[in-house]
Amino acid sequence: MKHIIKNTLPLLALTLVFTSCLKDHLAMDPAQSNNVIEFANTGANVSPATAIYPRFASDMGSLGTGDSATFNVNLSYSGAEMAPNDITVTLALDTAALRAYNDDLGTDYVAPPESVYKLATTAVIKKGTQVLQLKVAIINNDNFDFNVNYALPLKIAAVSSGVISGNYGLAIYSFAVRNVFDGVYEMTGTLTDNASSAITGNYPVETQLITYSGNSIALWDPVYAKAYGHIIRSGTGNSYYGYFSPVFAFDASGNVTVSNYFGDLAGPSKRSAALNPTGINKITYGADGHVEYFEVSYFMTQSGTTRTSFNEKFTYKRPR
């Protein structure tokens, strides 16, 4: 996500499961294995086939400050039979492996601060079972940075018996958290383009506002641009402003401010965003504390002069 986590931490509850549905390319053939301990599939392996490590991705949904959610890490005893005895598995973070993964695929994942995740560093695959499921807790606190892409590079550091898998003894677990403003909205309002009378507003339209930081969301156009941008009507067809997409930020008092996703003076037209202070520029919450709608007035400036004026209302519809 921007825009889409080493000291030993307290153990979380471990849930034992006795069956597992594994991809053929990841699960080993038990008849050909030698009491191998490995990471089993946790959802789909989203790494390309040529990647040096498997990666499993989790969408943690919207989390308010102090809230948490969990994703699973599956460990497997891949022998021909069930585990013949209790097997203690020790996990560790391998940041060197994460750097290698980034170098291999051109990604930019970083390991999260200790304070934003909780993970059991030891676990037991019980005698007579084959799969153990751990839960990793992710916490949205003051140390959570929405501007980076987090991933936990986990390796099986030691086992009390059996052999650590050479291919699947390490896996990358990436995750994304959405802020409480993130979602699908209906956008209504008015638009005035001072440079072209042929350009008008395209309202009402369903659009997406995507987590940009802990207290801000960026406008994503799923209709025409299919990118960060503001949809418009140009003559009789759809279009959008290049190098311009508003980012709306909310303070503790419910005030709204605006900036340009692409930065100030972006692109050849040098476009920026500026708040119109005469607007309402407030967010409204429902009785349940969730976003109901917000109203905002703002300008798109071009080379320092006002090109377009917007007066808009965004009504929350549903999660993305």
Query: pLDDT tens digits, residue range 99-150?
Result: 999 999 999 999 999 999 999 999 999 999 999 999 999 999 999 999 899 9
Could you tell me which residue, 123 or 13, shows the higher pLDDT? 123
Q: Could you state, in order of their start, the residue ranges of all structural domains in the chain?
A: 15-178, 183-318
- Beta strand pairing call for 170-178 and 149-159: antiparallel
The predicted model gives 269-277 an average pLDDT of 97
Which one-letter amino acid corresponds to residue 83? A
At 9, list the tokens: 């931490």
Lowest mean pLDDT among 3-7, 70-74, 207-211: 3-7
User: Of residues 132 and 7, which shows the higher confidence score?
Assistant: 132
- Coil, strand, or helix at residue 72? strand
15-178 shares its CATH topology with 183-318 = no
Strand pairing report for 170-178 and 55-62: parallel
Tell me if residue 31 falls in helix, strand or coil: helix
Give the side-chain half-sphere CA count within 13 A for 225.
Answer: 19
Q: How far apart are CA 121 and CA 270, in angstroms?
A: 51
Q: Which CATH superfamily is domain 15-178 in?
A: hypothetical protein (bacova_03559) (2.60.40.1740)
Write out 214-241 in H/E/C secondary structure: CCEEEEEECCCCCEECCEEEECCEEEEC
Coil, strand, or helix at residue 99? helix
Rounded to whole angstroms, the Cα distance separating 65 from 210 reads: 17
Q: Where does residue 27 rank: exposed (0-12), middle (13-18), buried (19+ CB within 10 A)?
A: middle
pLDDT category of residue 34 using cuts at 50, 70 and 90 = low
CATH H-level superfamily of 183-318:
Quinohemoprotein amine dehydrogenase alpha subunit, domain 2 (2.40.128.120)
Q: Answer yes or no: are the C-beta atoms of 60 and 137 closer than 8 Å.
A: no
Provide the greatest CA pair distance for the chain: 77
Model confidence at 294, pLDDT cuts 50, 70, 90, reads very high
**Mean per-residue pLDDT, 280-306:** 97
The pTM of the full predicted model, rounded to 2 decimals, is: 0.77
What is the C-alpha separation between 207 and 248, in angstroms, rounded? Answer: 14
pLDDT grade for 79, boundaries at 50, 70 and 90: confident
